[in-house]
Chain A
Amino acid sequence: MLKMTHLSKVYRTHMIETHALRSFDIHVREGEFVAVTGPSGSGKTTFLNIAGLLEDFNDGDYLLDGVSVKGLDDNARSRLRNEKIGFIFQGFNLIPDLNLFDNVDVPLRYRRMGSAERKERIEHALGRVGLSSRMKHYPSELSGGQQQRVAIARALAGSPRLLLADEPTGNLDSLMARGVMELLEEIHGQGTTIVMVTHDPELAARAQRNVHIIDGQVTDLDDAPRLGGEVAAATAAAAIAD
């Protein structure tokens, strides 16, 4: 699903050159739930931004669902993001002026879907996160946990192949965090590939596989999937074959 090979990312200012990622290699297979951990400034978010096509990289290669994204123009990257990737952010990033229905509608609008299909998808996505009855509410009328659920519904509405979550529970208390985590596990159980950046070792432990990043490099690749079932078996076999 996601394969980065010898990827490097350098931030340059007038005086300083910072290597955010160096010779970075990772392979996330279809249907995996991978937790990415590492200390602050290790390159986790840079990895996630590049994985989500929000940032470009300097060197190396990146295949997303078998397509090399190197050299793609802005339109092609936007289309790929829209069709294949769902984002969940620490700060929820809901648009305060739009109600829940319209917030979930945002990615679908750029896919030029008909209104009937959009409505069906939005209602289904909000139903999955348990917020069907709040479609006309505004984000400010919801708790943090509910807002994050809306963000998840927004990510799910487009039926993405890959869900990228950046500290999805970072702004939530433990009860709400548990609810969000259970939701992510449920989504993963339905076959969506998830890559989650987190500081929290407890959350990381619930993922299928852990990847540890230090100084822009993968230092600890736990290739043995911990979850059972067909998906886990298939990914383990693929990892061994690699």
Chain B
Amino acid sequence: MLSNNMFTYYLRLAMISLKRNRILTALMVAAIALGIGMSMTSMTVLHMMSANPMSHKEEQVRRVELDNWDVNRPWDEDNPAEPPDLMTYQDANNLVQAHRAEHEAAFFPNVLALEPDKRDVKPYMVEALFTTSGFFPIFEPPFRYGTGWSPAEDRSAARVVVIDSETNEKLFGGENSVGRKVRLGGEDYTVVGVLEHWRPTPRVYHVANGAFEDPQSVFAPFSIGIEKQLNSNSNNSCYKDSEPGYAGLLASECIWVDLWVQVKDEADAQRYLSFLNDYVGEQKKSGRFPRPTNNRVYTVAQFLEVQRVVGRDVRTQVWLAFAFFAVCLINTVGLLLAKFMGKSSEIGLRRAVGASKPAVFAQYLTESGLVGLAGGLFGLVLTGLGLLALRKLYAGTSIERLAELDWSMVFASLAIALIASLIAGLYPTWRACQVQPATQLKTQ
């Protein structure tokens, strides 16, 4: 067991040794720093992409999917077992009306013209999400002022709206605007809530046209969207023609509505799935759902996985970066070997005066670890620069949002650098332990 005293002694020896040959030390640190910089830059992007902002409600929040698709052709040819990821209006509406979960959030995005009261702000188009009131308790966007609306306001298509903090800043100078009016699409809406800055990454609730886009600026009741005869400006897919007109679309098999529910736990989720199966069974009687029953109540993590939010190319990029890191480590092994073998006479002397092989091993592994830590710290700087370059290069795109270093990645970088350098140091250190003192002492 290495005592504190000996560890401090080995650290001091390592510092002296590293200072002695600065160029060799710089090369080793640079090799590890470059490897860490490359791999952690791509890891950070992957880490942000594969994050799950709803992980605290993993059992409760469920994505509902029903397979209403063509009997002869699955929704996804590459993955025929998967049902469509969106839902028809009639199914979403029926399931919300049935209210068999704690909360239901059926929604679709579109745009509305916003006409500010302020003369200096010109009318502009805003991204709006037409959703049922269950959206707020399910996804828990933080409110700065007010709250969401009630199910009763859903049913009455009340002209209420929740706006994001940027819109509130633009329209009301950041003041508490609850109760004030916003003119959207030619109608006045009463502000019932103002969100704090909210940027779930990925934007789990709606990944259809970009999982890393910003949330919508305005949230209005689902029933208003229907009343205004809007449909999704994101994804709208049909496998057969619908009857003409908006009523035809609502009654069609076209899918364009997202549906999420909140259940109590896994058992409740299974009960909800049984309810879905019964519902589809009923629908089959009227000639709908020609395919075998294939309904899902995905957790957020499962949904993100199925949706391939993290693309294969991103994973490949991470693998390539780590392969580069491995090459850097192999170089470090060579440099450490050269350094330690250059100290054969010192090792021989230490062995002669009483250092056991484990003591020599601990001393040189400490030196390897110190190189790794230094490499990790410089690697963090390079990671920061790499992410900065990515943000500049991809300014205005979703990548810009993903290229941010967080504390978990800082600690991961240091831990990976330390572990990697200790592994890299194993062979050179083992070789150092094999030095025959008798030979070295005579040949000096």
Binding site for B on A (CB under 8 A): 45, 49, 52, 54-55, 74-75, 78-79, 81-83, 87, 89, 91, 93, 95, 97-98, 106-107, 109-112, 115, 154, 158, 166
Which residue on A lies nearest to B16, using beta carbons? Answer: A97
Instruction: Determine if B356 and A78 form an interchain contact, defined as CB atoms under 8 angstroms apart.
Output: yes
State the CA gap A78–B350 with chains docked (Å): 10
- Kindly provide the distance from the CB of A49 to the nearest chain B CB, expressed in whole angstroms: 4
Which residue on A lies nearest to B441, using beta carbons? Answer: A89
State the CA gap A78–B359 with chains docked (Å): 10
- Kindly provide the distance from the CB of A184 to the nearest chain B CB, expressed in whole angstroms: 18
Max chain B CB contacts within 10 Å: which of A81, A93, A98, A115?
Answer: A93
Instruction: Determine if A106 and B438 form an interchain contact, defined as CB atoms under 8 angstroms apart.
Output: no
State the CA gap A98–B15 with chains docked (Å): 12
Known: A97-B16, A111-B354. A54 touches B438 (CB 8 A): yes
- Asked if B369 is at the interface (CB within 8 A of a chain A CB), the reply is no
- Asked if B5 is at the interface (CB within 8 A of a chain A CB), the reply is yes
Please pick, from A49, A97, A110, A166, the residue contacting B354 in the complex, using a CB distance under 8 A: A110
- Kindly provide the distance from the CB of A73 to the nearest chain B CB, expressed in whole angstroms: 9
Instruction: Determine if B352 and A87 form an interchain contact, defined as CB atoms under 8 angstroms apart.
Output: yes
- Asked if B349 is at the interface (CB within 8 A of a chain A CB), the reply is yes
Instruction: Determine if B354 and A79 form an interchain contact, defined as CB atoms under 8 angstroms apart.
Output: yes
Instruction: Determine if B17 and A154 form an interchain contact, defined as CB atoms under 8 angstroms apart.
Output: no
Task: Please name all residues of chain B whose beta carbon is closer than 8 Å to the beta carbon of A78 when the two chains form the complex.
Answer: 351, 354-357, 359
CB proximity to A under 8 Å, residues B327-358: 345-346, 348-358
Binding site for A on B (CB under 8 A): 3, 5-6, 9, 16-17, 20, 345-346, 348-359, 436-438, 441-442, 444
Task: Please name all residues of chain A whose beta carbon is closer than 8 Å to the beta carbon of B351 when the two chains form the complex.
Answer: 54, 78
Task: Please name all residues of chain B whose beta carbon is closer than 8 Å to the beta carbon of A154 when the two chains form the complex.
Answer: 353
Which 6 pairs between the two chains have the least Cβ-Cβ distance?
A: A82-B354, A107-B353, A78-B356, A110-B354, A91-B444, A54-B438
Instruction: Determine if B3 and A112 form an interchain contact, defined as CB atoms under 8 angstroms apart.
Output: yes
- Kindly provide the distance from the CB of B270 to the nearest chain A CB, expressed in whole angstroms: 60
- Kindly provide the distance from the CB of A107 to the nearest chain B CB, expressed in whole angstroms: 4
Instruction: Determine if A54 and B359 form an interchain contact, defined as CB atoms under 8 angstroms apart.
Output: no
Which residue on B lies nearest to A52, using beta carbons? Answer: B352
Instruction: Determine if B444 and A109 form an interchain contact, defined as CB atoms under 8 angstroms apart.
Output: no
Instruction: Determine if B349 and A106 form an interchain contact, defined as CB atoms under 8 angstroms apart.
Output: yes
Which residue on B lies nearest to A80, using beta carbons? Answer: B354
Instruction: Determine if A93 and B444 form an interchain contact, defined as CB atoms under 8 angstroms apart.
Output: yes
Please pick, from B17, B350, B352, B358, the residue contacting A54 in the complex, using a CB distance under 8 A: B352
Which residue on A lies nearest to B356, using beta carbons? Answer: A78
Instruction: Determine if B438 and A81 form an interchain contact, defined as CB atoms under 8 angstroms apart.
Output: no
Task: Please name all residues of chain A whose beta carbon is closer than 8 Å to the beta carbon of B444 when the two chains form the complex.
Answer: 89, 91, 93
State the CA gap A87–B354 with chains docked (Å): 11
Task: Please name all residues of chain B whose beta carbon is closer than 8 Å to the beta carbon of A95 when the two chains form the complex.
Answer: 346, 349
Query: Can you report 18 A-B residue pairs in the complex whose CB atoms are below 8 A from each other?
Result: A52-B352, A75-B356, A75-B358, A78-B355, A82-B353, A87-B353, A89-B441, A89-B442, A91-B441, A93-B345, A93-B349, A93-B352, A95-B346, A106-B350, A107-B353, A110-B353, A115-B5, A158-B354
Max chain A CB contacts within 10 Å: which of B345, B349, B436?
Answer: B349
Task: Please name all residues of chain A whose beta carbon is closer than 8 Å to the beta carbon of B17 when the two chains form the complex.
Answer: 97
Task: Please name all residues of chain B whose beta carbon is closer than 8 Å to the beta carbon of A106 when the two chains form the complex.
Answer: 349-350, 353
State the CA gap A208–B349 with chains docked (Å): 28
State the CA gap A154–B348 with chains docked (Å): 15
State the CA gap A98–B170 with chains docked (Å): 67
Which residue on B lies nearest to A98, using beta carbons? Answer: B16
Instruction: Determine if A45 and B442 form an interchain contact, defined as CB atoms under 8 angstroms apart.
Output: yes
Instruction: Determine if B16 and A93 form an interchain contact, defined as CB atoms under 8 angstroms apart.
Output: no
- Kindly provide the distance from the CB of B21 to the nearest chain A CB, expressed in whole angstroms: 10
State the CA gap A92–B346 with chains docked (Å): 11
State the CA gap A110–B3 with chains docked (Å): 11
State the CA gap A98–B442 with chains docked (Å): 21
Task: Please name all residues of chain B whose beta carbon is closer than 8 Å to the beta carbon of A98 when the two chains form the complex.
Answer: 16
- Kindly provide the distance from the CB of A146 to the nearest chain B CB, expressed in whole angstroms: 17
Instruction: Determine if A107 and B357 form an interchain contact, defined as CB atoms under 8 angstroms apart.
Output: no
Task: Please name all residues of chain A whose beta carbon is closer than 8 Å to the beta carbon of B357 when the two chains form the complex.
Answer: 74-75, 78
Instruction: Determine if A112 and B353 form an interchain contact, defined as CB atoms under 8 angstroms apart.
Output: no
- Kindly provide the distance from the CB of B335 to the nearest chain A CB, expressed in whole angstroms: 18
Which residue on B lies nearest to A91, using beta carbons? Answer: B444
- Kindly provide the distance from the CB of A115 to the nearest chain B CB, expressed in whole angstroms: 8
Task: Please name all residues of chain A whose beta carbon is closer than 8 Å to the beta carbon of B346 when the two chains form the complex.
Answer: 95
Which residue on A lies nearest to B12, using beta carbons? Answer: A102
